[in-house]
A and B are shown apart, each in its own frame.
Chain A
Amino acid sequence: MGMTFAEKVLARAAGKDRVVPGEIVMVRPTHLLTHDNTSAIIGKIGPELDQYGVVDRDLPVIVLDHAIPACDEKTAAEHQRVRAFARRFELPHFFDGGEGTCHQVVMEKGLAKPGTIVVGSDSNSCSYGAVGCFGTGIDRTGAAALLLTGETWLRVPSTIRVVLEGKFQKGVSPKDFALTLAGMIGADGANYMALEFDGPALGEIGVEDRITVANMGVEMGAKVAAFPVDEQTEAFLHRIGLRRYAYEALWADDDAEYEQRIALRLDKIEPVLALPHAVDNVSPVSENLGLPIQQALLGTCSNGRLSDLKTAADIVRGKKIHPNVRFLVLPASRTVLLEAMAQGYVRTLLEAGAVLLPPGCGPCHGAHQGVLAPGERCVSTANRNLRGRMGSASAEILLASPATVAASAIAGAIALPEED
């Protein structure tokens, strides 16, 4: 009997021949990601840090991204504590505000390697599955203890295998695929499980888009959401400086045992929205055309990469944003922003009337930079549309692809890009 991706990674990390779903294993993750919440995490272990220090300087990856630049005095003081902590222990993987959203930074800096375990004190840490890394979110207490001991426990998940077939129709994106899957299996459809994506159409989803899909895994309850390492992954890793010998990829055996298998034909997927207030409240864009919006958000850790900005720039080029709409553009990282500037996408977006936000989380979690007023409606490429998340509890968030968000920003209402 073979093993799934999750079973293989956890067995190797635990030094066992095999592990089975439900089993709890002790592992030493390669990295621990924390963000602005680093302040709260180290606050749990002040005396222990004084006495023993951090177990391994290479373990923590700290990215300030949730409220950057600081939105109030409390946040500023938290950032100050985090900077002092990073300086004190001479942590090599500290990234101050403006470098990007934490998950994008982890991936761009080559810290999420295939076959390794990277845990994060942030639920969307499952993003790293895009390159065959076992990325998963853990709690703050777990993160605090990990800083001291270097070790944590993980329960071996069972796995849902998603087999990709066919070809996307024009104008349909992997974000539409991720939302469609969420609608099919539900927001708790993969609760406690791993999602594995594979199949003949794997190549239809590029690495940037695999980050989008893996990022959405936790929105379906998944602990891990992983893709195999193929030529596209190897090319991506090569570009960021990770040579083939620097990692040892793992993937599921053909005879692995699955909780469920889902075959999805990409050509059957159409542009969709997740309507308020749940990610699985999915409905075709075509059935919601004309629904007025006041804000459009392009970016965040789910969709702020170069290909997303290109898609939007191509749609708004030579047009103007609807006067009733604020169009916020939030690149996922400084690297993405610089490249988007070099390619002219930023100029195109700004000429159309967009507002550029600093690379980070922006308004996605409702702290600053574009929170919603009562009764307002926002179409967003983010990953969560829970009630009140972006401000007022009577505001609505609709999740969509970059193309739908850009077309809607022009129309002032839910829209699809015009046909060429």
Chain B
Amino acid sequence: MRVWRYGDDIDTDMLFPGMYAHTCATIEEIRPHLLEGLDPTFAAEVRVGDFLFVGCNFGCGSSREQPALGLRAVGVAAVVGESFSRSFFRAAINQGLLLIECPQAVDCYEEGMEVRLHLAQGEIEVGGARFGFPALPPEILAIHAAGGLLEYARAWLATRGA
């Protein structure tokens, strides 16, 4: 588990440059450019279960879906932030990427601290200290569990069709 720490107002151009926005749609195409404008080491070194700890207004700018899709696909456990832009919040939930709004946890984090997520309890543990975050409603947890909104919709249709 590794924590990738970034600051305030990280826009979607830093997360996924606009020049690739119209040509990259699949995860194979997205992955090499993920966070390219912010941290060139990220794409190669990110591992399943890593966290992002970010400041205010994360994901501002264009409403392109590649950053959220990419971060979920490489296995980021959650983005823990002080706040998220509206378009990114929506894109993340619908792509199945977990966002946790918890300024106290971001404040508390220092290099090397262990981070654990207790989703069912609505808590995140940072270096042994536990912080609560607003509970996500069951529908949103179900979208996350399904791996994104389209997968959730497919499952819903299949049940209904049966």
Contacts and interface: CB of A to CB of B under 8 A. Distances in A.
Contacts of A24: 136-137, 139-140
Contacts of A223: 86
Nearest to B63: A139
Contact of B150 (A52, A145, A153): A145
Nearest to A47: B154
B157 A149 contact: yes
Nearest to A193: B86
What does DSSP make chain A's interface, helix, strand, loop or mixed? mixed
B157 A52 contact: yes
A109 B137 CA distance: 36
A139 B94 contact: yes
A23 B95 CA distance: 20
Interface of A: 22-24, 26, 44-45, 48, 51-52, 123, 137-142, 144-145, 148-149, 153, 155, 188, 191-192, 221, 223
A44 B86 CA distance: 22
Contact of B153 (A137, A145, A191): A145
B94 A145 contact: yes
Contacts of B63: 123, 137, 139
A39 to B, nearest CB: 13
19 contacts: A23-B137, A24-B137, A48-B157, A52-B157, A52-B161, A123-B87, A138-B90, A139-B87, A141-B94, A141-B95, A141-B148, A141-B149, A148-B157, A149-B156, A149-B157, A153-B139, A153-B140, A191-B85, A223-B86
B152 A145 contact: yes
A99 B35 CA distance: 40
B60 interface: yes
Given A24-B137, A145-B94, 20 more contacts: A24-B139, A48-B157, A51-B157, A137-B63, A139-B91, A139-B94, A141-B150, A142-B90, A144-B150, A145-B150, A145-B152, A145-B153, A149-B153, A153-B139, A153-B143, A188-B60, A191-B86, A192-B86, A192-B89, A221-B86
Interface in B121-155: 134, 136-137, 139-140, 143, 148-150, 152-154
A145 B156 CA distance: 10
Across the A-B interface, the 4 shortest Cβ-Cβ residue pairs: A145-B153, A141-B94, A145-B149, A192-B86
A221 B87 CA distance: 10
Contacts, number: 64
A45 B150 contact: yes
Contacts of A44: 150
B65 interface: yes
B14 interface: no
A191 B143 CA distance: 24
Contacts of B94: 139, 141-142, 145
A144 B137 CA distance: 22
A141 B154 contact: no
Interface in B26-71: 57, 60, 63, 65
Contacts of B93: 153
Nearest to B161: A52
Nearest to A223: B86
A48 B95 contact: no
Contacts of B89: 155, 192
B105 to A, nearest CB: 17
A139 B153 contact: no
Contact of A191 (B57, B136, B152): B57
Contacts of B86: 191-192, 221, 223
B149 A142 contact: yes
Nearest to B9: A188
Nearest to A141: B94
B65 A140 contact: yes
A108 B136 CA distance: 38
B124 to A, nearest CB: 18
A175 B114 CA distance: 52
Contacts of A140: 65
Contacts of A221: 86
Contacts of A51: 157, 161
